[in-house]
Chain A
């Protein structure tokens, strides 16, 4: 029994995320390396091993989180079993992204507030503002940018409770997106 408990404890400790404080103002490579971006100073970052993802937060992921992710075009929407393609219009990409997110149990009620064209690292992108209520009825907002660069589909996402956190930390996210430069 003790051995099982020790094993479970080890497993728990191994799975604990290693968060590191962002203390440099230089641009760093975004996941996949197609662009560089300046991360918010003083926040903490976590790069899950073996993934093209980078998560950033200030007060904890439930308070606010920024997620930078990269996938191959073929693997862009794995749950929908759909690929992204350069020939797609940006609103098509945005619709697929939202449909992919809706496959998550907690996001089935996600609604689009607005989509519009944008530019990230000099590349045409979509900007989608979304909202949903979590199981306790708390309104959550998501702002995401998505674009195709070379052979990759990139998403820069900011999610926070509408109350207090979203509006407070949105400028930090927008500043980070503006800082993105093609590599």
Chain B
């Protein structure tokens, strides 16, 4: 954490007033690049290629099409110039590279409630690209990158460049406010309700506070989220906005599987608390697919406090009742029953698991326990 603080301080120390650049608004973006900006684009291209090599991007064409449709609605002049990618990581993070590559973590998109909230985030990040903030920052923080030379983050390479030219830690307050204003204007123009931006940033702020998140990312920073809330509330007040489109249903259909994937990622990193905080609220649970209860059960098991085992069993049983074909819930129940030696109950669940997931990575283990259970319980 100390190294992140030093980097953040170094970045801030180096930031001075930026020269104003004309925003990208035509199809001939590369022809208007300044010579120095070409270098920044080359760095961004290297980062993009490294990210692609890392195998961390979601390759789901349907969700890509959906994300790009929202981006096109917000910035029609930048069609085919903005490329949105989903990053397979549970953290609350999103960032833009100067060459129009926008990265959103699955964990962040999974927290959203509707399309308007997603539009708020995309509106803000694309504004960083459109208004060439990466180039502006790179000219001011060259010396700061020296501090960041040995820092790695989420296994991403080229981090000094990433820090210098992307929005991963946020830009100067001036540039961030500009991105808020542009994003707000684009949301309103596209018909979205900008009040949902405030709601999104508040939701993230609540989670950051409840989980005591110390990750240095822009959208996991309590004060930076507060700045977004203040800016959007001011803009809403000034423009007198009282309504707009939320598009909750479409959003839900498009990202239901991502919500489950985000929880899978949380569990893979043993981050059980976000799942418990999210899903213990009935209002949130209603917005999740029924399989979400399985992940809540796993989160209880990992937390392991008094009473969590019973809560986990109840969650798994509710999952098998509502989605009988969901293999993982059968595995969880089978293993728990095997462990507490109620073999007659374990057997049908383990059998069902293997039937539903014949290619399971732990098939040999489950077959082994099934064999052991059958030795003890002979029908």
Residue of B54, B88, B154, B339 near A137 (CB, 8 A) is B54
Which chain B residues in 46-65 approach chain A with CB under 8 Å? 50, 53-56
B362's closest neighbor in chain A, by CB? Answer: A115
Decide: B268 and A135 in contact? CB cutoff 8 A.
no
Asked if A109 is an interface residue, CB under 8 A from chain B, the answer is: yes
The answer to whether the Cβ of A91 comes within 8 Å of any Cβ in the partner chain is yes
A155 CB, min distance to chain B CBs, angstroms: 17
Does A90 interact with chain B (Cβ within 8 Å)?
Answer: yes
CB 8 Å contact bits of A121-141 with B (1 = contact, 0 = none): 000001000000101110000
For the complex, is A113 an interface residue (Cβ under 8 Å from B)?
Answer: yes
Q: Is B378 an interface residue (CB 8 A)?
A: no
Bound CA span A182–B177, Å:
65
Asked if B156 and A135 sit within 8 Å, CB to CB, the answer is yes
| A105 interface hit (Cβ, 8 Å) | yes
B154, B362, B364: most-surrounded residue (chain A CB, <10 A): B362
Q: Is the CB of B270 within 8 A of A80?
A: yes
Q: Is B239 an interface residue (CB 8 A)?
A: no
A106 at interface, CB cutoff 8 A: yes
Give the A-B contact count at a CB cut-off of 8 A: 71
Residue of B nearest to A81 (CB): B270
Q: Are B152 and A99 within 8 A (Cβ)?
A: no
How far is it, in angstroms, between the C-alpha of A107 and the C-alpha of B53 when the chains are bound?
Answer: 14
Cα distance A137–B335 when bound, in Å?
36
Give the residues from 140 to 190 in chain B that come closer than 8 angstroms, CB to CB, to chain A: 152-157
Contact (A116, B55) CB under 8 Å given A89-B338, A105-B155, A106-B155: no
The number of chain B residues touching the other chain, given as a range, is 20 to 34
**CB < 8 Å: which of B53, B335, B361, B365 contacts A133?**
B53
B319 to chain A, nearest CB (A): 19
Whether A116 pairs with B364 at a CB distance below 8 angstroms is yes
Instruction: Indicate whether B368 reaches chain A with its CB closer than 8 angstroms.
Output: yes
CB contacts (< 8 Å) of B335 on chain A: these are 89, 91
Interface size classification for chain A = 20 to 34
Within 8 A of B (CB), among A71-122: 80, 82, 87, 89-91, 96, 98-99, 102-103, 105-109, 112-117
Q: Write the nearest CB–CB distance from A40 to chain B, whole angstroms.
A: 27
- A103 and B361 contact, CB distance less than 8 A: no
A residues near B54, Cβ cutoff 8 Å: 109, 133, 135, 137
CB atoms of B362 and A99 under 8 A apart: no
B269 within 8 A of partner (CB): yes
Q: Does B104 contact A (CB under 8 A)?
A: no
Is B299 on the interface with A (CB-CB < 8 A)? no
Q: B121 an interface residue at 8 Å Cβ cutoff?
A: no
B89 within 8 A of A: yes
Distance in Å from the Cβ of B159 to the closest Cβ of chain A?
A: 10
Shortest beta-carbon distance from B309 to chain A in Å? 12
Which partner residue on chain A sits nearest B49 by CB separation?
A137
Chain B residues, Cβ within 8 Å of A115 = 361-362, 364-365
The closest CB in chain A to the CB of B338 belongs to A89
Give the Cβ gap from A78 to chain B, nearest Cβ, in Å: 12
Question: In the complex, A96 Cα to B268 Cα: how many Å?
Answer: 9
- Cβ–Cβ < 8 Å partners of B365 in chain A: 90-91, 115-117, 126
- State the CA gap A82–B301 with chains docked (Å): 12
- Distance in Å: Cβ of A131 to nearest Cβ of chain B: 10
Q: Which residues of A are found within 8 Å of B152, using beta-carbon distances?
A: 105-106, 135
CA distance A97 to B335 in the complex (A): 18
In angstroms, how far is the closest chain A Cβ from the Cβ of B180?
Answer: 30
- Bound state CA distance, A90 and B368, in angstroms? 11
23 A–B contacts from the bound complex (CB under 8 Å): A82-B270, A87-B339, A89-B335, A91-B335, A96-B270, A99-B269, A102-B270, A108-B56, A109-B54, A112-B361, A113-B361, A114-B361, A114-B364, A115-B365, A116-B364, A117-B364, A117-B365, A133-B53, A133-B54, A135-B54, A135-B152, A135-B157, A137-B50
Footprint of B on A, CB under 8 Å? 80, 82, 87, 89-91, 96, 98-99, 102-103, 105-109, 112-117, 126, 133, 135-137
Q: Which 7 A-B pairs have the closest CB atoms?
A: A137-B53, A116-B364, A135-B157, A99-B270, A105-B152, A108-B155, A117-B368
